[in-house]
Amino acid sequence: MNRIFFRFFVLVMLSITAATFVIYFAFSRLFGDPLDDIARRQAAAQIFLIEQYVDKAPADEWLARLNNVRLVSEVRYDLVPLEQARQQVGGARRAALDRGEIVLDPANKTLYRRVDLEGERYIGSHEEVLVAHNLPIDIGQALKMEALRYIIVAVALLVPIALWSRSHWQGLQALSGMADEFGSGKLSVRAHMKPSASIYPLAERINHMAGRIEDLMESQRSLLHSVSHELRTPIARLEFALELLDARAKDPDLHKRIAAMEGDLAELNNLVNELLDMSKLDSARSLQVATLDLHALLQECCAALPHAAARLDCEFAQGLGEVEADGRLLGRAIGNLLRNAQKYAAGRILLSARRAQDAIEIAVEDDGPGIPEDEREKIFDPFYRLDRSRDRATGGFGLGLSIARKAVVLHGGSLRAEASTGLGGARFVIALPLATDGE
């Protein structure tokens, strides 16, 4: 709010300053210098005195009247030679002085006026100029008043702008909070706004969009769930039928074929189970959160790992503490990463855990071929496997990382892939928010 308002403030001030200059230049061009005008108004009494009292005097009394004025006035009146005055006024004003007009010099609080043009007042009077110093001209004061006037106008403009932007800002804050929650997976969240709110129509559209997305996700999830579920029965029937067939088969060749078919069926069964697990992970409702000792959880993951050629080292920082998590899901995510590392490591795997600033980081790294930088996000897509001959040899559906990420995200954490600087292969990092942060 403050930032937007500050920008508005600066913008309004800049426009008002620009408008002031434009007004000044336009007025000077069309009607003469406004500062001159102000000075003329401020020196109006002295000008009146010269024009009405001194000038209107008969020629022989002129000097006497001027002296009278000199005596009673605080303004200093002098007579100077025309040439000297012409030099002092300079520029465009010289012509006006020559014509016998009153020439003001606001900066020096001075005015010039020729005594007369024909020398009718006294001998040589057409060669002299009446100069009045110390005129009560204060341009600074006038400018301050102008500035104050503009500032009052600007503030008067800013008050409605502030009120207007405040109502917008509050609405936008509510919308962005809703978008954050929606983005983090809480698909049922909606923006609640009064119909009188300025951005109510926008909120309505966003709610509508959120509703559509929620429906689509829900129908996709339930489709995936139903298809996987429906596949279980025919698979079970096929398994049963194959076992019967196997028992009755006499031909050893047929036995081999049946065994291969059973292997394929087992793979299909695994896939269906993984798909079912994945569809369950689409909502936080499936979480069974408890307070877990992280150290113990990590050791369980290592113990549950099948035996493999690669050596597994563990490096756990002291005092890892506890996390609020679903132990089964988190353990499964870590297990997925460890099994992947076993598949791809050349000889070493490192499981490490430490406390970072506001999260706990669990990292699994290996000395295998690693993952090219442009593939590091794609490998988290379901069924995505790197097109490497090795991947085909290692088997798997390409669902493990996708399931692991979903599980970690459900805990409010994140899972990313990077390069392992220590071992040279891939490094997967699970970052979990600390228990005190609300998770």
Ligand X SMILES: Nc1ncnc2c1ncn2[C@@H]1O[C@H](COP(=O)(O)OP(=O)(O)OP(=O)(O)O)[C@@H](O)[C@H]1O
Q: Which residues bind ligand X (CB under 6 A)?
A: 336, 340-341, 344, 366, 368-369, 371, 379, 385-386, 391, 396-402, 425-426
Indicate the pairing of strand 311-316 with strand 348-355.
parallel
Phi, psi of 394, rounded to the nearest 5 degrees: -80, -10
> Binding partner of residue 128 among Mg ion, ligand X, none, CB under 5 to 8 Å per kind?
none
* Minimal CB distance residue for ligand X: 400
The CB density around residue 68, as the number of other CB atoms within 10 Å, is 14
- The residue from 340, 352, 402, 420 that contacts Mg ion (CB under 5 A) is 340
Q: Which residues of 300-321 are buried (b: 16+ CB within 10 A; e: fewer)?
A: ebeeebeeeebebeeeeeeebe
Comparing CB distances to ligand X, the nearer of 330 and 379 is 379
Cβ burial 88-126 (10 Å sphere, 16+ → b, else e): bbeeebbeebeeeebbbbbeebbbbbbbbeeeebeeebb
Among the listed ranges 123-131, 217-225, 323-331, 394-402, the one in contact with Mg ion (CB under 5 A) is: 394-402
User: Which DSSP string do the residues of 266-281 spell out, in sequence order?
Assistant: HHHHHHHHHHHHHHHT
CB of 430 vs ligand X, minimal distance in Å: 14
Residue 357 or residue 389: which is nearer to Mg ion going by CB?
389
- Rounded least distance, CB 300 to ligand X, Å: 20
Find the shortest distance in angstroms from Cβ 183 to Mg ion: 26
Picked from ligand X, Mg ion, none, the partner binding residue 341 (CB below 5 to 8 A depending on kind) is ligand X
- Quote the CA–CA distance of 77 and 73 in Å, as a whole number: 9
> Token pair for residue 427?
């490094």
Instruction: Give the number of residues in contact with Mg ion, rule: CB under 5 A.
Output: 2
Work out what residue 352 binds among ligand X, Mg ion, none; the CB cut-off runs from 5 to 8 Å by kind: none
Query: Among residues 370, 400, 413, 425, which is the contact residue for Mg ion, using CB under 5 A?
Result: 400
**Pairwise CA distance, residues 377 & 384, whole Å:** 10
Q: Name which of 88 and 336 has its Cβ closer to ligand X.
A: 336
Nearer to ligand X, 185 or 398 (CB): 398
306 phi and psi angles, rounded to 5 deg: -65, 155
User: Closer CB to ligand X, residue 55 or residue 391?
Assistant: 391
Residue 428 CB, nearest approach to ligand X (Å)? 7
Instruction: Output the six-digit token pair for 220.
Output: 């996709």
Q: How far is the CB of 384 from ligand X (least distance, A)?
A: 6
Sign of CA dihedral 284, 288, 293, 297: negative
Of 340 and 420, nearer to Mg ion (C-beta) is: 340
